[in-house]
A and B are shown apart, each in its own frame.
Chain A
Amino acid sequence: MPFDPSLAWDSLPRMLFGLANTVGITALTLVLGLAMAIPVTLARMSPRRIFRLPAAWFVMFFRGTPALILMYLVYYGLAQLPSIHDGPLWPIFANAFACAVIGLALNHASYLVEILRGGLEAVPAGLVEASAALGISPRQTYQWVRLPLAMRYALKAYQNEVIGFTKGTAVVGVITVVDLTATANEVFERTYDPVTPMLTAAVLYWCLINLMRIGFEFADRRLNRHLAAEEQRRRKPVAASLQPALARWTGLAAPNTERAL
């Protein structure tokens, strides 16, 4: 029994509800992750070790740990600690949805720190100097030269990370949050048809991911329009020239290669 269209149609409302949860978790994680990442990035780039080291540990731990384990850790692990269980924040940590967002945001933030740092460090020192030489203050230089350029440099990496963690939200089902993947699982358990709900979910994920991609590309065109002209000059000849060269070199297909080697 391959794909069953009528089951797909019947389960669509539930699936869309699951999708809405996935989108909600993604959006909240995006915001919370950024809020966490900014202070950690500043600490990570600080010249003082007391700030830099803990920030580096934060990044190493939350970047290296799979999101699945972070879910367990935040939802089950923290509940075991008396300071959490009896503390004022318990209502938050007792809530699976909140735990999912916190766990994912920690993971996302740790990636974001490295992305932001990479972008900031990629800004050529000469531009910062040129700004200083014009009498622009360090703070204004940061705001109007360094940060805008860092954002542009980091956009591609940021896109990859956001799309990556959006797909990663599929793990939240393990702590009882009913997202799109969990909904597909529920439908499977009810109908014993694994293929239809999984494929339906896959289609919805694909739509979501590609909508995000289109959004990013739009932002990229806006932010990086200053590069458009240069890009055109650089890219075209190389890409166009490669394919015949490649065919020649692989020797697999040599359609119209007159040049002998």
Chain B
Amino acid sequence: MLISASEAGYFQQLARGAVITMELAVSGYILALIGGAVVGLVTLLPNRAIQAVWRVYASIVMGVPSLLVIFLFYYGGGTLLGGIIDITPFEAGLTALVVVYTVYVAELVRGAMRNVPRGQFEATAALAIRPVGAWLHVIMPQVVRLALPGLVNIWMIVLKDTALVSLAGLNDLVSHAKTAAGATKEPFIFFIAAALFFVVFSAVTLRFSARLEARFGRGLAVAKA
């Protein structure tokens, strides 16, 4: 299949859309990481009220499709904010992704914290290591190691979920692919191109995460054998 001049133009648009997709995915993921880490730690505090609120909130967010959350923020966002400002697709999408994935990251952090053996806390205390040092050098590295596979997983899901924001009018990769498919009557090639973008990125992620896991997992293989 030869690519005509006009199709080449569409591919340029696709590339511009891909940049927007990446911006959304990266900023959404980073904000969710920060939010999730904070929320995860705060909700581990031994406070009944915090625990109860968290359980209800997490259950709601995790029980609803992210597409619905995106729609809610996009169509309902202005209304909910009192109808003063119009919310852009990018803002709506970003807010929705951050709201949803903060919860997933937080749950992951909570799980990882719970799986750091108690002895590690006690050992640092017994060695008279100060809390800050213990956190930085002993606890956090283990939490990161335990949470790493899950964090990679969440990144892949966030990346793929950005595609949904095209349905709220964002001119991202998917929406350009759809336009090009309609205009050229060549849907197959443009949708395959869009798919390959995501496939390549997730393949790269898996490569990279295997390395990271090996790095953070040093000393683990020996213990297993």
Stretch at the interface among A33-41, A58-66, A215-223: A58-66
Query: B30 interface residue, CB < 8 Å from A?
Result: no
In residues 134-184 of chain B, which contact A (Cβ within 8 Å)? 134-135, 139, 156-157, 160-161, 163-164, 166-167, 174, 177-178, 181
Stretch at the interface among A47-55, A141-149, A245-253: A245-253
How many residues from A make CB contacts under 8 Å with B?
Answer: 60
Question: DSSP class of B's interface residues: helix, strand, loop or mixed?
Answer: helix
User: Residues of A contacting B163 with CB < 8 Å?
Assistant: 66, 68-69
B127 to chain A, nearest CB (A): 11
Query: B121 interface residue, CB < 8 Å from A?
Result: yes
Query: A239 interface residue, CB < 8 Å from B?
Result: yes
Q: How many A-B residue pairs have CB under 8 A?
A: 167
Chain B interface size, under 10 / 10 to 19 / 20 to 34 / 35 or more: 35 or more
Contact, CB under 8 Å: A69 / B75: no
Contact (A198, B68) CB under 8 Å given A63-B202, A68-B164, A246-B44? yes
A56 to chain B, nearest CB (A): 11
Set B76, B156, B185, B187: member contacting A72, Cβ < 8 A: B187
In residues 171-214 of chain B, which contact A (Cβ within 8 Å)? 174, 177-178, 181, 185-188, 191-192, 194-195, 198-203
Query: A77 interface residue, CB < 8 Å from B?
Result: yes
CA separation between A60 and B192, bound complex, in Å?
14
Set A67, A76, A205, A259: member contacting B68, Cβ < 8 A: A205
A257 to chain B, nearest CB (A): 11
Stretch at the interface among B3-11, B12-20, B111-119: B111-119
B8 to chain A, nearest CB (A): 19
Query: B27 interface residue, CB < 8 Å from A?
Result: no
Contact, CB under 8 Å: B198 / A64: yes
User: Residues of B contacting A78 with CB < 8 Å?
Assistant: 188
CA separation between A188 and B68, bound complex, in Å?
12
* Given A67-B160, A243-B44, A253-B46: 16 more A-B contacts, CB < 8 Å: A64-B195, A64-B200, A65-B198, A66-B163, A68-B163, A68-B166, A72-B174, A72-B191, A77-B181, A167-B65, A171-B67, A194-B72, A198-B68, A198-B72, A242-B118, A246-B113
> Can you name 15 A-B residue pairings with CB atoms under 8 Å?
A2-B80, A67-B160, A72-B178, A72-B191, A170-B65, A170-B68, A181-B68, A188-B75, A198-B68, A210-B59, A242-B113, A244-B46, A247-B45, A250-B41, A261-B130
